[in-house]
Chain A
Amino acid sequence: MNSFEGQTLSWQLKNGVVELALHREPLNEISSLTLGELEKFVSALNSLSGEAHAVIIYSALPAGFCAGADLRELYQWIQQYGQAEVAGHTREYLERIHAVMNALDASPLTTIAAVHGVTFGGGFELALTCDLIIADKLARFCFPELRLGLIPGYGGIPRLKRDIGNAVMRDLLLTGRSFNATKAQQIGLVSQVVSEGEALQAARATAGQMAKFDRQTAAVAKRFIKQIPHEELRREIDIFCDLIARPAVQAGLKKFVESTDAQPYLP
């Protein structure tokens, strides 16, 4: 399937590059519908790999790349399943999303996240699966999960540890503060910072450069330098599922859902 037009995302293969556009209003919150379409994408990538050398993930929405998990949906599950069962359902969901993230991480294609604006929580975790992050200079990153009594659940901590693994990471995670693209580049999370509105063009130019090289060599090089921290990813799921059933998390989610702020995930 060389192209797909879904409700939350679309993709197309053009000139050897698969471009995945996120377009779920208001800010690409990752819901179960998004997950289903990401699973389709990962499945299609297997067949696209023969014709492509790179993947670019970007947002078609002006406000940003992705605000993270759809917390309203998460809150609905807690209401629907109750405290006793929510951990089991959460584990099932996380297993699915980790499978998608791991498949993107391990794809033999070179993957580039072209980000702008809000790149928070699960959106940041999606970007971290990519080989390169190219950021618009107004991009802003954040792991806000601790504010809700949770940890990042889509593979964020093990991938952050893989990429930077130092005291700055602990600061960002434990304070939940947001930081800009310049800081992200300084600490090694972002490889290129570009002018406002230029991230996608820069990603296309970068993908064009990669087309000059032997595909098999690039895939071998990637596999050699970018290993997937499977053991820590498993532990992350366990910890998240232990935390989710606590009343403090439910109270935090309730406060979030009942907020009248149009963007309650912002600091």
Chain B
Amino acid sequence: METAEKTLDEILTLAAAHFKVPREKLSPDEDFFKALGIDSLQTLDLLTKLENHFRVELPDYELQGVTDFRTLAAKIQARL
């Protein structure tokens, strides 16, 4: 069972690698749209990457209004 902190750390690492952003520039409570400079289409890519990495399903209706990494991690943690 992954801890919430470990899940959050893995999300930040994965997002940084996929969108080629320095990992140290991302912080848990940041708006990931702004931090990663992504649009809704790229957000779908991120969602798929996260689902594949954590082997979970994240229904997009559960993610409506989610903009920061910490809340995203909590949503994933709830499905691990």
Contacts and interface: CB of A to CB of B under 8 A. Distances in A.
Q: Tell whether A pairs with B.
A: yes
Interface of A: 63-64, 117-118, 137-138, 140, 175-183, 261-263, 266-267
Secondary structure at the B interface, as helix, strand, loop or mixed, is: helix
Interface stretch (B7-15, B57-65, B67-75): B57-65
B14 to A, nearest CB: 13
A183 B57 contact: yes
A175 B48 contact: no
B40 interface: yes
B40 A261 contact: yes
B61 A177 contact: yes
A106 B38 CA distance: 41
Contacts of B44: 117-118, 140, 178, 266-267
A197 to B, nearest CB: 13
B51 interface: yes
Interface string B27-54: 0000000000001110111011101100
Contacts of A177: 59-61
Nearest to B41: A263
A224 to B, nearest CB: 34
A175 B47 CA distance: 17
A174 to B, nearest CB: 11
B52 to A, nearest CB: 6
Given A180-B51, A263-B39, A138 B45 contact: yes
Contacts of A64: 41
A44 to B, nearest CB: 32
Contacts, number: 50
A267 B60 contact: yes
B47 to A, nearest CB: 8
A63 B41 contact: yes
A8 to B, nearest CB: 20
17 contacts: A117-B44, A118-B41, A137-B52, A138-B48, A138-B49, A140-B44, A140-B47, A175-B61, A178-B44, A178-B47, A178-B60, A180-B48, A261-B40, A266-B44, A267-B44, A267-B61, A267-B63
Contacts of B57: 179-180, 183
A179 B57 CA distance: 8
B49 A175 contact: no
B51 A263 contact: no
A137 B50 CA distance: 12
A175 B59 contact: yes
Nearest to A63: B41
A262 B42 CA distance: 12
A170 to B, nearest CB: 14
Q: Which 7 A-B pairs have the closest CB atoms?
A: A267-B60, A177-B59, A266-B40, A180-B48, A263-B40, A263-B41, A138-B48
Residue of B44, B47, B59, B63 ringed by the most chain A CB atoms within 10 A: B44
Given A118-B41, A262-B39, A266-B41, A140 B61 contact: no
Contacts of A266: 40-41, 43-44
